Structure formats: structure tokens, C-alpha cells
């Protein structure tokens, strides 16, 4: 519920800023491609200099708000969940690969299959299935490939332990070379 309120407030603020951008004569002229010097010469444009920091702040805010959009859109459709379950649902969708658009997670994708899989995950979160059970369910159908973060298994043992192994190896060598003598 809180998530939904925040996302609504953010999108409202965002649209106000967009309206502001269109109504602000200086910016709209810039958008239409008029040269900045022309604007600075004529009457109301003298204000443009004072407006500049505010404009920049406005753009910066918009840019920051852009980052929230993909996340807020996801929280819709899960409104009846409690906060913990909703977070679990969102975190899970970020860890599942969208198989038809392979670089993305299903949280970021609007492909029909990604929507269906989100729905399946939502249903299972509602049924209080554990994360492991939900991942099993998906991996059984689509393979380990669908999990963006590989699980620890015989095949991925090297992958998971290699960084730690390297760290130990070089730590020992460093110790031998520089500290012991």
C-alpha cells in the first residue's frame, strides 16, 4: 500500500515537472531548437540566466525520478500482499531471467511470457511458498539457466569458490614475499 502511494506521488511529481518543462517558455524554445543566443537577446529571455540553475535542478530531478519508474510499475498488481511478501515477490522477479529477452530479468521485461511468469511467482508468494520452492519450480521447467544467480551445485562449485581461492592464494604469496623475510 505504501509502495503504491509513493509510486503514485512520484509519477504525479514527474508529470508536474514535465508540464512545467513544456510551459516554461525558455525551455520550450530550446526544445524547438532556437539558438540560445537569440533567446538571451530578447526581452523575457534575460530571465533565462537566473532560471538556469533551477532548470538544471529540474532536469536533474527528472533524471533521478526516471530511475524509479521501472521499479514502481512492478509494484502494481501486487497490492494485496503485505510488505514482506511484496518485497519477496519483487526481489524474486529480479533474479529470474526473461527467457525470450535473455539479458533482462522478468522484473524489467514486458514480454508476455515475463508477465505470465511474474503472475506465477505472485501466486506462489501468496501461497507462502519459499524462495527455494519457487526457484525449483522455474528451474524444473526452464532449466538452471532461468536463474540469474547460479545456485551452488557440483557444476557451479568452481564458479563460487574460485574468487575465495584466488584471494587466499595471493594473500599467502603476499605474506611469504613481503612480510615473512
Partner 1 sequence: MRRLILARLLIPFLILFALVSLFWYELFYNKQGNLPSPLIGETLPRFSIPDLFNDQASFSSERLNGQVTLLNVWASWCYACQLEEAMLMKISDTYHIPVYGIAYKDTPADARAWLAQHGNPFTLVGSDQTGDVGIDLGLYGTPETFVISRSGKIVYRHIGVITQQVWDEVLLPIVRKYS
Report the C-alpha gap between 157 and 96 in whole angstroms.
20
Q: Give the count of beta carbons closer than 10 Å to the beta carbon of residue 96.
A: 25
As measured in angstroms, the least distance from the Cβ of 70 to partner 1 is 23
Contacting partner 1 (CB under 8 A), which of 52, 141, 151, 173? 141
**Chain residues 87-106 in contact with partner 1, contact rule CB under 8 A:** 99-100
- Give the x/- contact pattern for partner 1 in 51-90, rule: CB under 8 A: ----------------------------------------
DSSP characters over 58-81: HHHHHHHHHHHHHHHHHHTT-TTS
Asked whether position 150 contacts partner 1 by CB under 8 A, the answer is no
SS3 128: coil
DSSP conformational letter for 149 = S
As measured in angstroms, the least distance from the Cβ of 173 to partner 1 is 14
Q: Give the count of beta carbons closer than 10 Å to the beta carbon of residue 143.
A: 11
The residue range among 32-40, 51-59, 73-81, 142-150 that interacts with partner 1, by the rule CB under 8 A, is 142-150
Residues in touch with partner 1 (CB under 8 A): 99-100, 112-113, 116-117, 120, 139-145
Amino acid at each position: 500500500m505504501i509502495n503504491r502511494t509513493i509510486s503514485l506521488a512520484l509519477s504525479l511529481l514527474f508529470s508536474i515537472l514535465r508540464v512545467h518543462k513544456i510551459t516554461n517558455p525558455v525551455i520550450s524554445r530550446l526544445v524547438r531548437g532556437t539558438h540560445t543566443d537569440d533567446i538571451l537577446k530578447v526581452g523575457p529571455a534575460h530571465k533565462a540566466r537566473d532560471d538556469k540553475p533551477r532548470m538544471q535542478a529540474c532536469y536533474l530531478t527528472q533524471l533521478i525520478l526516471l530511475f524509479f519508474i521501472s521499479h514502481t510499475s512492478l509494484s502494481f498488481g501486487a497490492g494485496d500482499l503485505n510488505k514482506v511478501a511484496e518485497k519477496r515477490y519483487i526481489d524474486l522477479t529480479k533474479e529470474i531471467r526473461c527467457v525470450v529477452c535473455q539479458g533482462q530479468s522478468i522484473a524489467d521485461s514486458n514480454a508476455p511470457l515475463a508477465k505470465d511468469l511474474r503472475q506465477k511467482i505472485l501466486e506462489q508468494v501468496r501461497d507462502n511458498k519459499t524462495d527455494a520452492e519457487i526457484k525449483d519450480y522455474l528451474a524444473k521447467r526452464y532449466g538452471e539457466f532461468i536463474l540469474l544467480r547460479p545456485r551452488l551445485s557440483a557444476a557451479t562449485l568452481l564458479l563460487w569458490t574460485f574468487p575465495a581461492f584466488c584471494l587466499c592464494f595471493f594473500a599467502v604469496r603476499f605474506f611469504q614475499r613481503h612480510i615473512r623475510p
